[in-house]
Amino acid sequence: MKSKKLSTITITAFLLAGFSSLHGQESETVKLDDFVVMGEYLQSSEVNALKTPTPINEVPQSLAILTADLMSLQDMTGLADIADYTPGIDAGQGEGHRDDILFRGVKSTADFFVDGVRDDVQYFRPLYNIEQVEVLKGANALFFGRGGTGGLINRVTKKAIAGENFTNYSLSLDDMSESYMGLDTNVSLGLNGAFRLNAYLEDLKNHRDFYFGDNNGFNPTFNFDLSETTNVNISYEKLDHKRFIDRGIPSESGIPVESLADITFGDSEENYSSLDSDVLSLTVDQQLESDVKLRLRFTDNDFSKLYQNLYASSYDSAANTVTLSGYRDTTNRGSTIYSLDLIGEKELGGIGHKFVVGFEEIDTSNDNDRFYMDTDNLDNNSKGEKITVPIARRLAIPSFNFTTEKYDETEADLSVSSIYFSDEISLTDQFDMVIGGRFDDFDLSVVDVYGNSGGSASKVDEEFSPRFGLVYKAQENLALYGSYSESFIPKSGGQYADLKGSKKQKTDPDVYENTEFGVKYELTNGLSMTAALYRSNAVKPTGSVADGDYAVTETATKGLEVTATGTVTENWFISAGANIVDGTAPAEVAENSYSVWNLVKVNDQFSLGLGYIHKGDTVGKGSTQLPSYDRLDVAAYYSVSENLRFQLNIENVTDQLYFPNSYGSGQVTVGAPIHATFRLSGRF
């Protein structure tokens, strides 16, 4: 079966190759932005998440930036793919329906941002309209507020470009019949404005039974100058997703049961998630002076999310049966987010300052309800009903539903007001100091509509999060740094579902402290190297809460991150990294993990890619022991012309059976076997 699918890709490649001659006959040649100039397109020297484009060597913390070209060459389609090749972050299962990233061991489903604006609904985020992805490590409350405790991910979207007209397109097909179509077109509206449209369609398939995904999205943007000092960017994004939920296979005595790797423990019709979202955003940049500007941002978003699923909650090898649990959960969330920033560079008393002063206002309404599996069609207000079935290639699942056993319903209103400041101070030609802080007023009220969430409650948290850093530029290409930063997580967590129990209502937020020392070195050939020693300290109120008198526990994660990105030679690009945990690794994090990806340019038309991932032994959620694994990925690229490229990516070349993560003892993810993806990328 697998060879037939590979043959399908080969035939498709030849058919598309015949079409390529049309591009070679075009009278106007438009250069395809790919890896022809490696240093320019595959790596970025500036991070946008810090309100101003800031050179990486001036940022006193570890970070990673992945450009759109780099992600395309590595066939990255989501944040889990990024985690494979980025040290310091790991991808969790996310119950099969959401991005679930661990930043230095701290799990998060909410520390995601788009152009610096919070994007905290639980879903799988696409990359079709992304210019670059920025991964910041350590506590990052200063510009982002609560969360960001171990790190965060900021996606920078593509903006319309005045004075340019182009259309990029991408078509791909893999040997499991998964397909993708993407479009990126830019139309100049004169010297002062432009329109850009990004859109995609994908039909998901993989190695697991029943799996499907029908996803699409489009994102039109307008960018124009109202005057010489005023720029306006307007963006609207519409996403429509539906996909199968696969929560993996059981384990026994803490070990994944390899003999069950080909069985899907769910219902072919009832395991799915859906997302409908509308996001409107407006950014206005007003130049006040040559080196000072005012930036206004407004975002209005509306998300409707549903997920429902069966999954293996226990396994009996002696009886050869599995017990299935299940539930249905819905989220309807709307948010309006305003921010106003004063951004500038000034020299005062011979000392340079690069500063940001701003405020942010977030108003969110969030409605959740949950239904548990019902097998008797009686509303018992229970979450204990389960199904036990014999294990077979395809499970024979008795009748059940997710609509009559309602267990929970809450309505939440959240208001967050924040003020913040940051100043990058050039003390001397060699010493830079970064100092800043943020004050957040987090006001949450939750109405327990159904009476099963501990009662209605409200809570106000007021937190100040400082940041301090020092950068010593020993040489023009060598910088040493140290930093300290804090962030916090309210007791409601990241999804506002409840304030259940007096503990959540009376205790302070969890506070995370990040201390980091590192070195950044740029070789003359274009290779950038970073090494960082970090300590992430979690301070969590626990125990008795009577009259606010409670215990406080502290846990720490310590480690070393090393990265190298850039051109080793004119024809060799490399992106490599390693993370080594000092002491006991947190759950779902390996003590040792590393990766390397190489792109070698053979000639002007042909290039090769080689990637290698190692992840050490890991204790997954539910104390499941996940064995270490090594994955080898290869790729080949052929540029027919400056406007057209063919690409073949083969993942897991050695066809190793591996288990990348788990959400519990019965929910171990089965990694994909060897599979190939053929991609055509063009521009006209």
| pLDDT tens digits for range 320-357 | 999 999 999 999 999 999 999 999 999 988 899 999 99
Q: Which residue has the higher pLDDT, 115 or 3?
A: 115
Continuous H helices in 150-245? none
The answer on pLDDT for 29 being more than 70 is no
DSSP-assigned states of every residue in 393-421: SS--PPP-BSSS-EEEEEEEEEEEEEEEE
Which helix (H) or strand (E) segment is 307 a member of? strand 292-316
Give CA–CA dist 573/415, Å, rounded. 46
Give CA–CA dist 426/434, Å, rounded. 9
Q: What is the CATH number of the domain that holds 301?
A: 2.40.170.20
Strands of 106-108's sheet, edge to edge?
89-91, 101-103, 106-108
∠ Cα 11 17 180 (to 5°) = 70
Rounded to two decimals, what is the model's pTM?
A: 0.91
Q: Which residues contact 257 (CB under 8 A, 6 or more apart)?
A: 249, 250, 251, 315, 317
Amino acid symbol at 314? S
- Given a contact cutoff of 8 angstroms between Cβ atoms, the answer to whether 481 and 470 are in contact is yes
The pLDDT value recorded for residue 14 is: 39
The answer on pLDDT for 34 being more than 60 is no
Task: Check residue 503 and report its DSSP letter.
Answer: H
66-91 pLDDT per residue, tens: 999 999 999 999 999 999 999 999 99
Give CA–CA dist 404/330, Å, rounded. 14
- Given a contact cutoff of 8 angstroms between Cβ atoms, the answer to whether 150 and 512 are in contact is yes
Give CA–CA dist 42/368, Å, rounded. 41
The pLDDT value recorded for residue 10 is: 38
Q: Which residue has the higher pLDDT, 167 or 40?
A: 167
* Backbone φ, ψ for residue 71 (5° rounding): -65, -35
Distances (CA, A) of 548 to 133, 454, 478, 503, 551: 41, 19, 49, 9, 10
- Percent of the chain exceeding pLDDT 70 equals 90
Give CA–CA dist 642/629, Å, rounded. 39
The pLDDT value recorded for residue 44 is: 78
Residue 381 corresponds to which tokens in the numbers above?
A: 């207000």
- For the chain, the domain total comes to 1
Give CA–CA dist 246/235, Å, rounded. 33
∠ Cα 557 560 562 (to 5°) = 145
Give CA–CA dist 676/678, Å, rounded. 7
Give CA–CA dist 84/79, Å, rounded. 9
635-663 pLDDT per residue, tens: 999 999 989 999 999 999 999 999 999 99
Give CA–CA dist 133/125, Å, rounded. 12
Domain that holds residue 469: 2-683
Residue 59 corresponds to which tokens in the numbers above?
A: 């940022």
The pLDDT value recorded for residue 231 is: 96
Residue 488, classed as helix, strand or coil, is strand
Give CA–CA dist 49/41, Å, rounded. 19
- Given a contact cutoff of 8 angstroms between Cβ atoms, the answer to whether 163 and 193 are in contact is no
Give CA–CA dist 211/233, Å, rounded. 38
Min mean pLDDT across 12-21, 106-115, 279-288 is at 12-21
**Where is mean pLDDT largest: 304-308, 496-500, 508-512, 543-547?**
304-308
| Dihedral of the alpha carbons of 410, 411, 417, 420, in degrees to the nearest 10 | 40
DSSP-assigned states of every residue in 511-574: EEEEEEEEEEEE-TTSEEEEEEEEEEEEEEEES--GGG--EEEEEEEEEEEEEEEEEEETTEEE
Q: Which residues contact 258 (CB under 8 A, 6 or more apart)?
A: 657
Residue 75, classed as helix, strand or coil, is coil
Identify any residues that bridge with 520 across adjacent strands, giving them in sequence order: 479, 530
Nearest CA-CA partner of 362 in 426, 408, 407, 413: 413
Nearest CA-CA partner of 243 in 217, 281, 215, 268: 215
Nearest CA-CA partner of 674 in 647, 634, 636, 638: 634
Continuous H helices in 101-250? 141-144
Task: Check residue 6 and report its DSSP letter.
Answer: H
pLDDT band (50, 70, 90) for residue 58? confident
662-679 pLDDT per residue, tens: 998 899 999 999 999 999
The answer on pLDDT for 500 being more than 90 is no
- Given a contact cutoff of 8 angstroms between Cβ atoms, the answer to whether 362 and 415 are in contact is yes
The answer on pLDDT for 35 being more than 50 is no
Nearest CA-CA partner of 666 in 312, 333, 408: 312
Q: Which residues contact 63 (CB under 8 A, 6 or more apart)?
A: 47, 56, 134, 135, 136, 137
Give CA–CA dist 275/262, Å, rounded. 28
